[in-house]
Amino acid sequence: MNVQTQYSLTTEIKFLKGVGPKLAAALEKLDVKTVDDLLHYLPRRYEDRANFVPIRSLRADDWATVKGKVIDVDVPKRRGLQIIRAIVTDGTASLSLVWFNQPWITTKLSGRNAEIIAYGQVKSGEYGYQMQSPEWEIVDSEDSEAEFARITPIYPLKESVSQKMVRRAVKSALTMVDALPETLPLEIRKRHKLMSRRAAIRNAHFPESEEKRIGARRRLVFEEFLYLQLAQCMRNRERGLQEGIGFEIASDLHTEIERACGFTFTAAQKKVLDEILADMRSPHPMNRLLQGDVGSGKTAVAAAAMLAAVRANFQAALMAPTEILAEQHAANLKQIFEPIGIEVELLVGKQQSRAKKKAIARIGSGDAHISVGTHALIQQNVNFDRLGLVVIDEQHRFGVMQRGALRRKGVAPDVLVMSATPIPRSLTLTIYGDLDLSVIDELPPGRTPIKTHWKQPNERARVYEGVRAMLQQGAQVYIVCPLVSESEKMQMQAAEDLYKQISTEVFPEFKVGLIHGQLKSKNKERQMEAFRSGETQVLVATSVIEVGVDVPNATIMVIEDANRFGLAQLHQLRGRVGRGSKKSYCVLIGAPVTPDSAQRLSVMVQTNDGFKISEEDLRIRGPGDLSGTRQSGAIELRVADLLRDGALLEEARSAAIEILDADPKLESPDNAMLKSGVEQSRSRMMQTDVS
Ligand code: ADP
Ligand code: MG
């Protein structure tokens, strides 16, 4: 009897041929438990082992896979570090492979004439080209030539298991590939030229050719996008049909808000405000994303929408991701609204319990027309009298979970989400589906572009001399301290150290303030107020000032160790200057250690355009990092890559819309397969409530 026929998709992998307990345990840690899981555990990359690059033609900085004989292994010790250096030759030239503190590698390599395959980045070292800590495999007698000379999958693994072990396990699992159900209707597969699911999985692991590998990926990515788009479009359509509030909005709203703000709206602000007001007038709930670069005037537009809600006798709430930002919003809105008799209430976690109680009571009674806060607003004990409009300022952090919770504080209120960094369309579509989109594509008048410089750490003294000259002429400066740690406590320490140095050694003749995330709200407010009023001229800060802070006279920002910040974050930080009509400067101090960080800093020097920056960011870092969505679990893309697969996303999106136009609830028998798949995606989205 053939053992393999006894497997099924639900067989645990420890029962698979070629899977020992060690491998089973290691894979279980990666959430791979069954044959089905293993079939969907896709390679991270591939190596074409039919065609290796000759060592002679390598160039510095190339990422390459080479194959050769180990002709020497040397284990020098240097400053407590154990170095293993293997010299490998393929007949055209030789290359050193270098590892640190992994003595066990020596034994593996010292077999006579061991043949090795290594993958890594080529660097010039003291003995010619080398690869540091490459990925590697020994070629042994088990690797039959025919099996071997092909496109080989490389899986995302932890150290303790080898690629070979996983490949063997996957091969066993693939004997069950024909049990995989098809998940796309034939009609769709034909129209979009997609291979079957079985063929796709088979070729994703062991591609028969480069063409098949690409086809396999295309099929899997399309499917992933299609289900996501179907789920999001269905949900948004349902929401659009819901009963909501049809606000009555007076025709003089524009005049009233412009008078209260003290400026005329830009054409772009007027356009998006009209889109928002049209949604608010309609009897269905608004679900709109307001995008615009830092400082483009989103908050002013949101204030107009809030005014409309209040004038229609409803409450409005604005939720921000940080306390500083909430406080800043509250201060701004009070300035706009209190003179016209509209009450603004602040609610943040760190308030004293008396103040908090009072705020909650005023929100509950309806005395507070506009409530501004952090996620304190969505605590259970907060109830609104008649919440009609919810504004969420998420800047570039996606407050994924919270959005739904605040919406539920009202009865089908209108929802407006503000997002600062204009994110590329592919990302917007993936995260928000067909959420309606308004874009502010113009800055308020009178802004002079910020001039950005990148300086090396040894030029720091000159930078600060330049800053001193500007301080003497009345300018104010932010000094952003290096990002040392995720831990707020350690970050605070770094900020305090920098503060000491700046206030006693660098600028002893000026008043210096300090602000960081660990300060009590009162202190934070005091520090901000002192800087805003010009009492302090220098503000040392952690990245807490990244969002919202608005001091027009602050025209210089120095960012220490700028290479450690992400691109989106640098852009946000820089947005704190250039808020008035005076020329502003941003100085990035940093000696980048990786090509990526050098690239980030040059992008900052080259452009002020948030849209370009976010695209570059996506390019450099990959989409998961950019939005923080991977971590927050908002959407999990298993195969797709938002940057590379933009075109396929559009294709899947049109397909989804077409399918739903014809069959809104996926009730036709042809769509049964789609329906069950969508239900699964939707239940996953419910858990996170993306929009
Ligand atoms: P965002 O929320 O997009 O970052 P804000 O609404 O906070 O932008 O606006 C940034 C700054 O520009 C604020 O000081 C605001 O008062 C000012 N501002 C907004 N719109 C205009 C306008 N149309 N004309 C002049 N100043 C404006
Ligand atoms: Mg703002």
Q: How far is the CA of 589 from the centre of ligand 2 (A)?
A: 26
Domain that holds residue 568: 451-607
Ranges of residues in the chain with a pLDDT under 50 are 1-4, 396-401, 623-634, 687-691
Residues 54 and 29 in one domain: no
Residue 136: Cβ-neighbour burial (10 angstroms; 0-12, 13-18, 19+)? buried
Which CATH number fits the domain that encloses residue 40? 1.10.150
* The CA-based dihedral angle spanning residues 258, 260, 263, 268, taken in that order and rounded to the nearest 10 degrees: -40
pLDDT at 363: 96
Look at ligand 1, atom 26, and give the residue with the nearest C-alpha. Answer: 444
pLDDT of res. 110: 77
Q: Which ligand is nearest to the CA of 269?
A: 1
Contact call for residues 426 and 401 (beta carbons, < 8 A): no
Ligand closest to 293 (CA) is 1
Residue 462 shares a structural domain with residue 398: no
- What pLDDT is attached to residue 437? 83
Q: Which of 258, 259, 261 to mutate to test the pocket of ligand 1 (most atoms within 8 A of CB)?
A: 261
> Do 337 and 268 share a structural domain?
yes
Q: Residue-wise over 501-536: b if at least 16 C-beta within 10 A, else e?
A: ebbeebbeebebbbbbbebebeebbebbebbbeeeb
Where residue 58 sits, what CATH number does that domain have? 2.40.50.140
How far apart CA 2 and CA 660 sit, in angstroms, is 46
d(CA 382, CA 360): 6
> What CATH number corresponds to the domain at position 480?
3.40.50.300
pLDDT of residue 256: 96
Is 325 contained in some domain?
A: yes
Residues 42 and 91 in one domain: no
Q: Given this model, what pLDDT does residue 68 score?
A: 93
CA of 691 to the centre of ligand 2 (A): 20
Q: How far is the CA of 272 from the centre of ligand 1 (A)?
A: 14
Q: Are residues 469 and 593 in the same domain?
A: yes
Q: How far is the CA of 569 from the centre of ligand 2 (A)?
A: 15
340 plus 407 within the same structural domain: yes
The number of folded domains in the chain is: 4
Q: Select from 564, 585, 607 the last residue of a domain.
A: 607
478 DSSP assignment? E
Are 14 and 117 in a shared domain? no
**Residue-level pLDDT at 686:** 54
CA distance 106 to 257: 74
Does the residue 681 lie in any domain? no
Cα 537 to Cα 137, 344, 515, 582: the distances in Å are 59, 30, 13, 16
Is 688 within the bounds of a domain?
Answer: no
> Is-contact 88 69, C-beta < 8 A?
yes
Judge whether 442 lies within some domain.
no
* Three-state DSSP class for residue 455: strand
Both 21 and 57 in one domain: the answer is: no
Determine the residue of 266, 299, 395, 581 to mutate for testing ligand 1's pocket, defined as the one with the most ligand atoms within 8 A of the Cβ atom.
299
Residue 302 Cα to ligand 1 midpoint, Å, equals 11
pLDDT given for residue 398 in this prediction: 43
Q: Ligand 1 atom 19: the closest Cα is on which residue?
A: 297
pLDDT, tens digit, 9 for 90 and up, residues 242-292: 888 999 999 999 999 999 999 999 999 999 999 999 999 999 889 888 988
Whether residue 415 sits in one domain with residue 506: no
- Lining residues, ligand 1, CB within 6 Å: 263, 265-266, 269, 292, 294-300, 444, 550, 579
Q: Which of 396, 419, 442 is the last residue of a domain?
A: 419
Tokens of 311: 């004038």
Is the Cβ–Cβ distance between 299 and 331 less than 8 Å?
A: no
User: Does residue 107 belong to any structural domain of this protein?
Assistant: yes
- Note whether 559 and 583 are same-domain residues: yes
Is 631 inside a domain boundary?
A: no
Residues 414 and 516 in one domain: no
115 in a structural domain? yes
Residues 412 and 271 in one domain: yes
Is 159 a domain residue? no
